[in-house]
Structure formats: structure tokens, C-alpha cells
Amino acid sequence: MSMLLSLIALRIAGKVDNLKAKHPDLSAEIDEIHQKDPSKNDKYIDWSVRQILRGHSLNDIIPTVELFHKKFSLLEKKDINQYKDLKDLENILKSLPESSKTQEKIKSKTTGSVKLYEDGKFVLIRIDEKRACVEYGKGTKWCISMKDASFFARYRSENVVFYFLINKAPTEEETRDSIDKIAFAVHRDRDMTEIFKSNDDTIKSNPYSEISGKIDQIIKSDLPSAPETKLYKLKKGKLSEEEIREIVNDDDDDTNYIHSYLSESPNTPPDILAKLSDNDDYMVRLSVAENPSTPPEILAKLASDGDEVRRSVAHNPSTPPEILSKLAEDEYRRVRLRVARNPNTPPEALSRLADDKDTVIRQNVANNPDTPPGALAKLADDNDDVMVRGYVAENPSTPPEALAKLADDEYRQVRSHVAENRNTPLDILSRLADDLEGSVRLSVAGNPNTPPEILTKLADDVSYNVAENPSTPPETLAKLAKDEDRRVRLRVARNSSAPPEILAKLAEDEDRYVRQYVAENNSTSPEILIKLADDLAGSVRNNVAGNHNTPPEILAKLADDDNEEVRNTAKKRLNLIIGSDQGFFRYTV
């Protein structure tokens, strides 16, 4: 790979990572946009994320981007960022002439539809195939009727059934109001219906009130018989191996999506995955490379494919160690990064990657629990990046001598990770208990391996963590149970090692949150729970109802509680105790 291509690859990887950092709640969506970007260089990813933030779904965004990529040369504005909203771009794309191939397919015949109702003015049609959707959707702005786009296939793959109500002779006013055609999108798996006017605006109900009830009843009666698409059945695991082999060779509107989903499905037979690994579509091969069911010999072949395909092989948890060892030398940085994270990567490959010039790769090696102790000891001396040393400090495989060295690190974050590590030797924990930084002492106090005498010493300093540490001695917990700070008492109340007499004392605490944690603690005795079952706070009684130590007779009492949440929790616990197959009365929640 040339220096220029390497820089481009690094820029793409950085763009994806930056977007995920900026929008962590959209991580899965950003991954899908990246994987299905038709430009292969994330040219459209920023615009696509902006559309998600504007409230649009991936079912609309991805097909629009695919169609724009095919047709942008026909547009006056050739930069997708010139279109502020997805709907603006959809409307312009819909006005473009369809390809001659599409025209021929549509003109052949309008099949794939079922007429369900007709009178002098209206006709109701169920739309089963794209060609019917395009034909009957003429003159509308519905994205599903766009000729060269994949909107219809994506929605049908999610078990959405479309019904078109067509006004055969609309008045000028009806046409002006965009009610000449009405689309009903029935989401069968979500038990909801969306209604669209011909201009694609949503409405709450059928504007033709005179036939609204009749249309609703016809749709309701027809819905169970509406066919499920092959793609939907494939996604739901409803196809046998024989049926999968039959549809993989189909050539229809769903072919591209069928290949895409087959390449992703863990239920796809190995011979089909082998066939798909030769697919002309780069994204199909990429999905095969990511599929944990892909046979090793196919992964070995794909390990020589394009950059992102190799990255997917390196990410696959089923990739054999020998292939990962080879990919550890890959020139593409994102491939080596995935090798560093893979749980199957052999120790010798991780040792080599510990010397990688890329800081993020060394961080991931330092974080991998399978990294050999020798490599971790070497990374403990990494002076270029504090995060590398931080990951070494918290790695359960780090040897004691490396932890001892990191306990003197200049950065408190590194020392805190050493203090949290359950394998840190006791003498090092004892030394860190005197650290000048409070965060380090707090980590020592939270380590369950910290000796009782050290926890007792820290009780007046970092009391929160000492109070909830299961290794804290009873006499120290007894002292902390009397602390003026309710947050300290809260932590004692939820400590699984708190003795019965301490929990009994806290069960009388003036703070209801403290009593609430006592009621939730699985170490709380039945005697204490019986008392708390009469607590004035509903949240306390609710936790009593959910505690597995609560006697059945108390649960029966709480099943009649004034508080609905308490009643439901008690009934669920009683049903678990009684057992649904024992022939006893079952409480209704």
C-alpha cells in the first residue's frame, strides 16, 4: 500500500472512531453506515449521522445514500452535504428518470399485488412486490416507490405490509390535499400502523371517513394472510437449509439484500458462505469475513482480500490463531488493531504487536488478558503513552514485578489501576494505602483482596469504598453503620458481608434509602425482612417482596399491598416459588 493510501485508511478509521466518541449512543448505527457506505471511504458518513440526529431511520438513510451514489452525476448539486434534509434529497432523486432495465421490468406486467376492495370511487390494493409498489405509487412522493432504490425491500424485510387506497377519480381539492392516494404501512411485529398521504406526509387516520371503518376491517382481516418475504423469514431463522440454498440463486428485487443477510446470518450453511465469499459485492464479502460461522479455509482466503475485509477477518472470534498471526504483520493499521483485540490471537503474535509503533494497538495489547506476562512487563516501561501503562496496571495477567514498578508511576491513574488489580501483592496494596492521592487510596479500599487491617486504617479516610468492601471486618462495619453521612450507611446496608446485628440496626435507620438497601440485601435475615414488610415506604416493602429470603407468608401478605408495584413484585416471587407447572393457584400480575 502506498503512503497516500495508508494516510487515507488512517483518516477513515479516525473519522469513524471520532463519530463514535461524539455520539456513543449511535455506535451501532455508525458501524452499519460505515459498513454499507457505497463509496468505501465513508464519504457519506457525516451526512448520514446528521440525518439520524434529525430523526430519520437507517431504513430511509441507507437506500437514499446508495441511490445518490448511483445517480449523483445526474444531479445539479453533486455534494450530498448540499442537501440539508433527507426528504429534500429523496424528492429530487424520485424525479430522476429510471434506468431502462427498471422500465422494462415494470412495463412487463404489474404483478405482486392483491386487490382487496373496489367500488365506484376507491380501490384497495395490498402491495407484495416492488414492481407493484412502483406502478401503483406513481405520482406520489413515497420513498418505497422509488424505482432504483431499496426502500421497499428494507421495509418488507422488517415485516411491514403495505396497502394502497387509491381514489380512482379524485377531485381537484383531493389532489391538492394529497389524498388522491393513501398508503397504510402496517408494522406486524410492532402492532402499529402508519398512514401517509401521497406527498409523504403522515396523518393520524384515513381522511375518507365514509369508508374508513370498512377499510380498517378489510386490512385487519387480510393481514394474517399477507405473505412474509423470503428476506424476513431469513432474518427470523424461519428458512431451512434447503430453502436457503434455493433462494441464494434467485434473481429478483430482494437478491442483494438476501445475499447481504445470508452473509451475516450465523445459520447460513458453510457451503453457501463459501459461495458468497466470491461475491462481486465488497460488502457481502466483508460480512462473510465477520460471520463467526465462516469456515477457517474461507477466512484464510479472505485474509488476502481488501483492507476492510481483512479487518473483518481479524475481528472474527472464529479466525484461527495461525491466520491472526499472519495478520499481525498486516500493513493496514485497522487490521493489526483487531488482531490485538481478538481473544484467539496467539501469545507470540501479541508479543510482536507489543512493539507496534501505533499507540492504540499497544493499548489494546496491554488490555488483552491473553497477552504474555513478558510482553506486559515490557509494556509497563512504555514511556510514550500513559494509557498503555494504565491498561497493563489493570490487566489480570500482569506479573507482580511489573505491578510493583507501576505502583511508583508518576500518574495517579496508573497507580489507581494497580490498586484495583486483584492480583496486586499485599505488600504493594499496603504501600499504596499511604499514597498521597485520595483516588489511589480509594481504589485500595475497593479492592476485595485488601487485608482487613488496611481497610480498618482507611475507614476514616475513604469510608465509602471501605463500607461496601466485602472484606471489611465486622467491627469496622459496625462503626461505619453509625456514620453521620447517609451515603456511608447506604454502602454498609448493601454490603453482602454485613453481620445480621448490623443489618438489624440499619433496618431502623431514619433514612428510607438505607432501609431500602437492607431490604434488598440478600444477606438480610427473614426476621429483619418480616419487620421491614410493614415499613411505611413502598420502595422498602417492594425490595422485601423481591428478596429471596422473604418467607412465603410475608409474600402472600405483600401480594395484597396497597402499592401496585409491591403487589406485582410479591406475586412474581410467589409464582417462582410455587412453580407454574405444579398445579397450584397462580398469582396474576
User: Cβ(383)–Cβ(356) under 8 Å?
Assistant: no
User: Residue 200: its pLDDT value, please?
Assistant: 94
| Alpha carbon separation from 400 to 33, 64, 394, 422, 428 (Å, rounded) | 44, 56, 12, 11, 9
pTM equals: 0.67
Pick the more confident residue, 457 or 34: 457
- For the chain, give the percent of residues with pLDDT over 70: 93
Q: Is the pLDDT of residue 551 over 50?
A: yes
- d(Cα 561, Cα 105) in Å, to the nearest integer? 66
Q: Summarize pLDDT for 388-411 with one digit per residue, the tens.
A: 999 999 999 999 999 999 999 999
- d(Cα 426, Cα 470) in Å, to the nearest integer? 17
Q: State the cell numbers at 119.
A: 367500488
Q: Is the pLDDT of residue 567 over 60?
A: yes
pLDDT category at 42 given cuts 50, 70, 90 is confident
User: Cβ(535)–Cβ(517) under 8 Å?
Assistant: no
- Three-class secondary structure of residue 124 per DSSP: strand
CATH of domain 500-589: 1.25.10.10
- d(Cα 247, Cα 276) in Å, to the nearest integer? 13
Q: Which residue intervals of the chain bear CATH 1.25.10.10? A: 233-345, 500-589
Lowest mean per-residue pLDDT among 41-45, 336-340, 499-503? 41-45
Q: What is the mean pLDDT of residues 89-110?
A: 57
User: Residue 71: its pLDDT value, please?
Assistant: 82
- d(Cα 406, Cα 415) in Å, to the nearest integer? 6
Q: Summarize pLDDT for 317-354 with one digit per residue, the tens.
A: 999 999 999 999 999 999 999 999 999 999 999 999 99
Q: Summarize pLDDT for 458-467 with one digit per residue, the tens.
A: 999 999 999 9
User: Residue 421: its pLDDT value, please?
Assistant: 97
Pick the more confident residue, 449 or 78: 449
User: Residue 239: its pLDDT value, please?
Assistant: 82
Q: State the cell numbers at 71.
A: 445517480
Q: Is the pLDDT of residue 585 over 50?
A: no
User: Residue 73: its pLDDT value, please?
Assistant: 78
**Of 481, 547, 536, 490, nearest in space to 513 by CA:** 490
pLDDT category at 457 given cuts 50, 70, 90 is very high
User: Cβ(132)–Cβ(125) under 8 Å?
Assistant: yes
Q: Summarize pLDDT for 242-253 with one digit per residue, the tens.
A: 888 888 877 665
Ranked by mean pLDDT, the top range of 20-34, 92-106, 274-288, 400-414 is 400-414
Matching residue, cell 460488502:
283
User: Residue 4: its pLDDT value, please?
Assistant: 36
pLDDT category at 116 given cuts 50, 70, 90 is very high
User: Residue 587: its pLDDT value, please?
Assistant: 46
pLDDT category at 159 given cuts 50, 70, 90 is very high
**Of 485, 488, 522, 519, nearest in space to 504 by CA:** 519
- d(Cα 483, Cα 463) in Å, to the nearest integer? 9
Pick the more confident residue, 105 or 134: 134
- Three-class secondary structure of residue 356 per DSSP: coil
Pick the more confident residue, 586 or 131: 131
Alpha helices by DSSP H, 447-508 = 452-458, 463-468, 474-480, 486-493, 500-506
User: Residue 251: its pLDDT value, please?
Assistant: 67
User: Residue 16: its pLDDT value, please?
Assistant: 86
Q: What is the mean pLDDT of residues 114-123?
A: 95
CATH of domain 233-345: 1.25.10.10
Burial class (CB in 10 A: 0-12, 13-18, 19+), 399: middle
Longest dimension (CA), the chain: 91
User: Residue 103: its pLDDT value, please?
Assistant: 36
Which DSSP state fits 227? P
Q: Summarize pLDDT for 293-310 with one digit per residue, the tens.
A: 999 999 999 999 999 999
Q: Please state whether 254 falls in left (phi above 0), alpha (psi between -120 and 50) or beta.
A: alpha
Lowest mean per-residue pLDDT among 233-237, 254-258, 493-497? 254-258
